[in-house]
Structure 1
Amino acid sequence: MMTDLPRGTSELTGCDEILVAADGPVRIVTLNNPDNANAVNNTMHTAFTRLWASLAEDPDARAVLITGTGDYFSAGGNLVEWLETHVNNPVTRRAGMRDARRIVRDMIDFPLPVVAAVNGPAVGFGCSIAVLCDIVLISDRAFFADTHVASGLVAGDGGSVLWPLLMSLIKAKEYLMLGERIKAEKAVELGLANRVVPHAEIKQEGLAVAHRLAALPPRAVQDTKRTLNLHAQRAITGILEYGISAETECFTTPEHRAAIDKFLNR
């Protein structure tokens, strides 16, 4: 059975769906919406915009581990809330997409090394968050999927920005446009994850890797990350802005509304 990590609290984020715990110099971030497969609701999405700046200000933190409660990493967005805030309300739609830009930029700019322990399905937003991390361990029961296009949306944020840096452009087109599941071994082969870990060991292995990073000379590891992430910085210039803007324009299309209705009526 998988050993649980310290549960953490919502004190840092003000959101019960994102818990933060300390394990020495490692900060453990847990996506915590287990009744909905750790799907991202609006409160959780907004809390992500505060999370990375707050962690960067922690003088004792040296590395971060991010994982999900139970056997899911994150099943993506909460479509019931999505319908009200992104489809039906232009004010909250703009705010949500502004937050989406900020989350991508903040994760790329975040100075500490971040390890993802992908303990289950990582879909949509969950997939983007995982791949924005620095080292990605994936459970042998997990998979990635970016389902934006299938739901009538432009794949505007994490996938379109980073996937072409991690795999071939033609492969990125295939998986982003078709939205097919990428099983754990295939994710490693493509470059979306570093290695597959047995499901029962994924969280503890992620914590061990985070502690290895935390033990390195902090200036050296942080500036190495910063140097490498300059490639990602260059990628998001123009690409992220266009992708988010194009995605925003899709929210009121009949195709997107039909995809939501089909999901909600299942």
Structure 2
Amino acid sequence: MTECDNCIQMNISLPDADQSSGILNNDILAFYKPKFRVLWKQDDKLKQIYTTENNITLYNLEEGKTYCVQIETEITMNKNTEPSAWKCIKTTAKLNRGAIKSPGKWEISPMDTMGKIIFYEDKNFEGRSYECTNDCTDLHSFFIRCNSIRVESGCFMIYERANFMGHQYFMKRGDYSDYQRWMGFSSCIRSCRMIPTYRGSYRLRIYEKPDFSGHMMEFMDDCTCVSDRFHHRHIYSCNVMNGYWIFYEYPNFRGRQYFLRPGEYRRYRDWCATCAIIGSFRRVNEY
């Protein structure tokens, strides 16, 4: 769990399935399809949401306040799951996160908190369009296909399937006149996630084996070839301590992409990969 200005981000990991369970690829999330009840409180004010995602962001929180969070996992085939312990974290105060000063008060520049992406059904920004300024888990009701995109501000990840699943693509500010411009495989885009602006330092630890074991190496900058620096082609777990990062399947930032927010990723499935091969990675620092 980590703070991000006026939000809190969490990554939920479940244990691996027993090898004798017969669960395909030991993917317990896909097999059980759990639902998570997220509770959070501040000054005795309790709120909750239900979600099926294991990467969760709580937005629009008060700055500089302490929030306590608890996760309950609901599985149809197992009614005896125990909730997590309450864990508390303090959101960042305005003064500490790239604020601008005006007479008598601190204000946040709109560039720090907002992004805008426009989806077009046809190439060259033609046809029906839809504007989005935040996360959207299902875009299907707004357009049938997506053949061009304009990112007017901020950075986004777009996804081939609903609920941030399938092939994913990093989109920074600019014009993308057809889906090949964002290295897409088709005109199918079904969800998007806004990447919060981040101005601090970057720190990432990668591990040779699951659960943060084996050879470890820490990075604070981009890596064009993992095997040259890490001396392994596989990353089985990682810990993102600061900043937002993109993993790439091949060296020189090519191939399938995986967006990583601050948090612990005990297995490669936690960043929605189908295998542990990572060829390169870079920081998200172009806003």
- Normalising by structure 1, what TM-score? 0.23
Say which structure is richer in strand. Answer: 2
Larger radius of gyration: 2
Q: Highest relative contact order (Cα 8 Å, sep 6+), 1 or 2?
A: 1
Q: Which has the higher helix share?
A: 1
